Amino acid sequence: MDKKLKIALVFGTRPEAIKMCPLVKKLKENPNFKIITIVTAQHRQMLDSVLDLFEITPDYDLNLMKPNQDLWNLSSEIILKTKEVFDKETPDLVLVHGDTTTASMSAISAFYSRIKIGHVEAGLRTFDKDYPFPEELNRVIVDEISDLMFAPTDRAVNNLKLNSKKGIYKTGNTVIDALLYVVKNKKTSLDFIGLKSDLKTILLTSHRRENFGKPLENICLAIKDLVEKYDDIQVVYPMHLNPNVQNTARPILENIERVKLIEPLDYVPFCNLMKKSHIILTDSGGIQEEAPALGIPVLVLRDETERPEAIEFGGVKLAGTNKENIVKEVSLLLDSNQEYDKMSKSINPYGDGRACEYIEKIILEYFKIS
């Protein structure tokens, strides 16, 4: 190609930013590319901290976050606002990430504009369109209309091959690129949390829509039981700002000794908190990939996961949202060094920290740039 390849990267949530910012920085190093960053700000405050960390100033900030926004308004706004940018910039390739509303609606907008689409973290599946909701359908839609699919694992590749699609590549996950960079180069103090060095730290994160209500209540009741059962543990819960989380968790956990309810953490302190944790309980997708790279056992507070590789390799286990089962699985790890070592010493299947490098090479080859 005689001119630079114009690549637009669109993201809007903190998890997307964590996984896309290393790719933005990597692609910007290549003189063959003109990079355009577009953020929807589906998560405003949590997104900005990651942009600051990676020293990225978006070319377009759509600033779409509104209090208690619903999927209908958000979806339509993303399609309309990205269309304006695509019409102005006419990129050759649009890269989106994962399974968010930002990813699916930006991909649809690019498809309507007849722009090539690349899906970072393609091929994840539970094969249940209602679980997780709406993420499962989001990623299926993006994969269906993408020209380039960057799958993190062999299983993700095989999921994509079920539809006999072309343009499938195994790259590993860019989240490992980000994580290894941060824990090596961005150490920070956690003194503000008030952790006691003689206690084992259990990190809890839970914010998914399907866990709102009774499931989250069960999770919090399990935490209460565990703290009463074990006097050598402390629990840290960085709580999502969503009222559905706050209004369920606070009445149960707010005044319990050795349970620390804190505001959402920026990425750097969160990575450092993960590294200091003894066990992680989460319904997050990204943490299922990150924690095994740090040797931390993960219990997933969901009945299904689109990331079964770490389960197969032994570093992650499904605990669900049943109170008794959560208590049972955590107790097993606290009571048995053998069970703990089995999980903490498992192999991480999500890559070697060079996913961005592999994606760059694939794009160059696809567009025949030497």
Catalytic residues: 99, 121, 135, 207, 209, 240
Provide the b/e sequence for 228-248 (b: ≥16 CB within 10 Å).
eebeebbbbbbbbeeeebeeb
Q: What token pair was written down for 261?
A: 């309810």
What is the C-alpha separation between 137 and 111, in angstroms, rounded?
17
Provide the b/e sequence for 279-312 (b: ≥16 CB within 10 Å).
bbbbbbbbbbbbbbbbebbbbbbbebbbbbbbbe
Provide the b/e sequence for 113-148 (b: ≥16 CB within 10 Å).
bebbbbbbbbbbbbeeeebbebbbebbbbbbeebbb
Q: What token pair was written down for 141?
A: 């839609």
Sheet holding 148-151, edge to edge: 60-61, 33-39, 5-11, 93-97, 116-120, 148-151, 168-170
What is the C-alpha separation between 140 and 187, in angstroms, rounded?
37
What is the C-alpha separation between 310 and 34, in angstroms, rounded?
36
From 111, 99, 130, 97, select the one nearest 19 (Cα to Cα): 97
Residues 6+ apart with CB under 8 A from 347: 292, 313, 314, 315
What is the C-alpha separation between 25 and 20, in angstroms, rounded?
9
CB 98 within 8 A of CB 19: yes
Q: What token pair was written down for 167?
A: 């343009």
The Cα-based distances of 329 to 52, 279, 296, 314 in angstroms read: 37, 11, 15, 14
Read off φ and ψ for residue 233, nearest 5 degrees.
-125, 155
What is the C-alpha separation between 71 and 75, in angstroms, rounded?
6
